[in-house]
Amino acid sequence: MASSCTINLPLWALIFFALSLNPIEARGPVGRLNGKSPQWTAAGGICASSVHIYGYKCEEHDVVTKDGYILNMQRIPEGRANTSGVSKRQPVLIQHGILVDGMSWLLNPADQNLPLILADQGFDVWMGNTRGTRFSRRHKSLSPNQRAFWDWTWDELVSYDLPAMFDHIHGLTGQKMHYLGHSMGTLIGFASFSEKGLVDKLRSAAMLSPVAYLSHMTTVIGDIAARSFLAEATAIIGVAEFNPKSGLVGTFIKAICLKAGIDCYDLLSVITGKNCCLNASTIDLFLANEPQSTSTKNMIHLSQTVRDKVLRKYNYGSGKSNMKHYGQALPPAYNISAIPHDLPLFFSYGGLDCLADVTDVKYLIDQFKFHDTDKITVQFVKEYAHADFIMGVNAKDVVYNQVATFFKRQS
């Protein structure tokens, strides 16, 4: 059966590129942003621009990873609603996907935003911002202008970023936490929990648009893009930072579009047409705030994941190099089935999601066939695509309330 998807991972970049083609001019000179809400510039940080404005408490936190990155986090310790009946608020860590940051959860009106909804439901809400995104471009000794700053992939998010965030939350609250990931936020969660690193601090996990296997890619553009990325990454390999807003990456993406025979200018309508439930004002705000940079090496790793069908650590390209890094010729695999079988899990995936493709999600869920059956909840949202899970105007009713109920069941 032909897939309805025109695009696929890891080319969020493609999407962003297409989306960013017109809005800059359309939005007018920067001066016109004066008078708009602070959300347009995120000046003063995420709490100031996007949480305080709705009347919620919010704290900015910095955590330092074992390899020296300084990551920014936000904590929304309580809601506006009267939850004085709640004795001890359980922490929830919300982890965004690739090429965006925590801000992407806060662009809708307050009553539609996941972090605020969870706070109102009585949770102690924490938001992560992975290395390289705008408020986490800091390191104890490196600067983002240096190549070494970008020498990482999602393997390092698994080994360093998540543990730093978990330790920080656990240290301050003394409690086990719930985890909520979207897209690459689910990938690093699965990989981490399979290595059992953080499960002693984990109460349950909700995975929206879950991705771990990306190989059932039937679409032309995704396939070409992934292969091009490996074959032609040399063109941009000199650029360690993958910034979709930069000219070099733009040129590369244009070349992919040309090869695939698609008009990148059409992608905006393709994407927004597929996400059933986005608010046009929110999309504008989204484009003003995202995309965020990642490392080129991370994009290559994701392309390898598309190609290889097995979830492995970064492949250095030759048996010899891998031997040097891992002591074996093939990069070590992550074993999803090794996630503790009694970990409560909630999956939600969309029928129109081109990135977390239905076939791949089904394959992923199949890896949990030995999981305790009463610990798994699977929700399928037929009309949802990738971004609906972050910004859908009806996501509160369709997904977020179900997530909150699931978390409360694990108390």
Ligand X SMILES: *[C@@H]1O[C@H](CO)[C@@H](O)[C@H](O)[C@H]1NC(C)=O
Catalytic residue among 183, 194, 209, 293: 183
CA gap 301, 311 in Å, rounded: 10
Q: Is residue 279 involved in binding ligand X (CB under 6 A)?
A: yes
Q: From the centroid of its chain, how far is CA 325? A: 27
Which listed range, 55-63, 152-160, 278-286, 317-325, lies at the site for ligand X (CB under 6 A)? 278-286
**Residue 70 beta carbon to ligand X: minimum distance, rounded to whole angstroms:** 32
Catalytic residue among 96, 155, 386, 388: 386
Q: Is residue 394 involved in binding ligand X (CB under 6 A)?
A: no
- 38/68 with CB nearer ligand X: 38
For residue 24, which amino acid is it?
I
**Residue 46 beta carbon to ligand X: minimum distance, rounded to whole angstroms:** 17
Q: Is residue 281 involved in binding ligand X (CB under 6 A)?
A: yes
Q: Is residue 85 involved in binding ligand X (CB under 6 A)?
A: yes
State the residue for tokens 């999981």: 371
Q: Is residue 328 involved in binding ligand X (CB under 6 A)?
A: no
183 catalytic residue (yes or no): yes
**Residue 55 beta carbon to ligand X: minimum distance, rounded to whole angstroms:** 15
Q: Is residue 81 involved in binding ligand X (CB under 6 A)?
A: no
Q: Is residue 49 involved in binding ligand X (CB under 6 A)?
A: no
Burial of 157 (C-beta count, 10 Å sphere; 0-12/13-18/19+): buried
Please list the alpha-helical segments (H only) found in 275-357: 280-289, 296-308, 319-326
Nearest to 298, CA basis, from 178, 158, 173 = 158
* Of the candidate residues 34, 82, 234, 373, the single one contacting ligand X (CB under 6 A): 82
The answer to whether 260 and 224 have CB atoms below 8 angstroms apart is yes
- 282/295 with CB nearer ligand X: 282
Which listed range, 48-56, 117-125, 277-285, 300-308, lies at the site for ligand X (CB under 6 A)? 277-285
CA gap 252, 264 in Å, rounded: 12
Give the bridge partners for 350, in sequence order.
381
CA gap 376, 372 in Å, rounded: 7
Please state the φ and ψ torsions of residue 289, each to the nearest 5 degrees: -105, -30
- 147/341 with CB nearer ligand X: 341
- Residue 21 has which token pair? 């083609």
Q: Is residue 338 involved in binding ligand X (CB under 6 A)?
A: yes
Which listed range, 40-48, 172-180, 215-223, 276-284, lies at the site for ligand X (CB under 6 A)? 276-284
- 21/393 with CB nearer ligand X: 393
Q: Is residue 337 involved in binding ligand X (CB under 6 A)?
A: yes
Which listed range, 81-89, 119-127, 211-219, 237-245, lies at the site for ligand X (CB under 6 A)? 81-89
CA gap 244, 361 in Å, rounded: 27
* Of the candidate residues 8, 49, 95, 282, the single one contacting ligand X (CB under 6 A): 282
- Residue 313 has which token pair? 């650590």
Q: Is residue 35 involved in binding ligand X (CB under 6 A)?
A: no
Catalytic residue among 101, 120, 161, 353: 353
Q: CA gyration radius for the chain? A: 20
353 catalytic residue (yes or no): yes
Which listed range, 98-106, 164-172, 332-340, 355-363, lies at the site for ligand X (CB under 6 A)? 332-340
- Residue partners of 299: CB distance under 8 A and separation at least 6: 10, 13, 229, 233, 242
Number of residues in contact with ligand X, rule: CB under 6 A? 11
Q: Is residue 87 involved in binding ligand X (CB under 6 A)?
A: no
- 53/393 with CB nearer ligand X: 393
CA gap 58, 84 in Å, rounded: 18
**Residue 339 beta carbon to ligand X: minimum distance, rounded to whole angstroms:** 9
151 catalytic residue (yes or no): no
- Residue 347 has which token pair? 């999956």
Angle made by CA atoms 124, 129, 131, in degrees to the nearest 5: 145
CA gap 339, 196 in Å, rounded: 7
Looking only at residues 94 through 153 of this chain, which bind ligand X when binding is defined by CB under 6 A? 109
- 369/382 with CB nearer ligand X: 369
The answer to whether 183 and 307 have CB atoms below 8 angstroms apart is no
CA dihedral angle for residue 138, residue 142, residue 143, residue 144, rounded to 10 degrees:
-80
- 66/88 with CB nearer ligand X: 88
CA gap 294, 183 in Å, rounded: 15
- Among all residues, which ones are annotated catalytic? 183, 353, 386
Where along the sequence are the contacts to ligand X (CB under 6 A)? 82, 84-85, 109, 279, 281-282, 335, 337-338, 393
